[in-house]
Amino acid sequence: MEEPGFATDARAVPIHPATTTHSQLSEEELKDQGILPNTIRLSIGTEHIDDIIDDLERGFTAVSALSADGEG
């Protein structure tokens, strides 16, 4: 498994702002900033667009499978 990336990486990186970049904010401050508990930020890197789309599709498929199994 790869190390989590950062927004400054050359690769595309999904980030959960509420627990990373904005973790110091209260729930009210997060809401004021438009950051919900399920907000995901996608920082796009320099990969080919087809690779990024492939990665996203695999991720969505995995999440859908978990949801269908009652785990998500």
Instruction: Give the model's pLDDT for residue 1.
Output: 42
Residues forming beta bridges with residue 68, ordered by sequence position = none
Give the pTM: 0.63
Question: What domains can be seen in the chain, in order of their start residue?
Answer: 13-68 (3.90.1150.10)
Query: What is the residue-level pLDDT of the chain in tens, covering all 72 positions?
Result: 445 556 566 788 888 999 999 999 999 999 999 999 999 998 888 889 999 999 999 989 998 888 887 765
Instruction: Give the model's pLDDT for residue 26.
Output: 96
Cβ neighbours of residue 5 under 8 Å, at least 6 residues apart? Answer: 11, 13, 43
Burial class (CB in 10 A: 0-12, 13-18, 19+), 43: middle
Instruction: Give the model's pLDDT for residue 11.
Output: 82
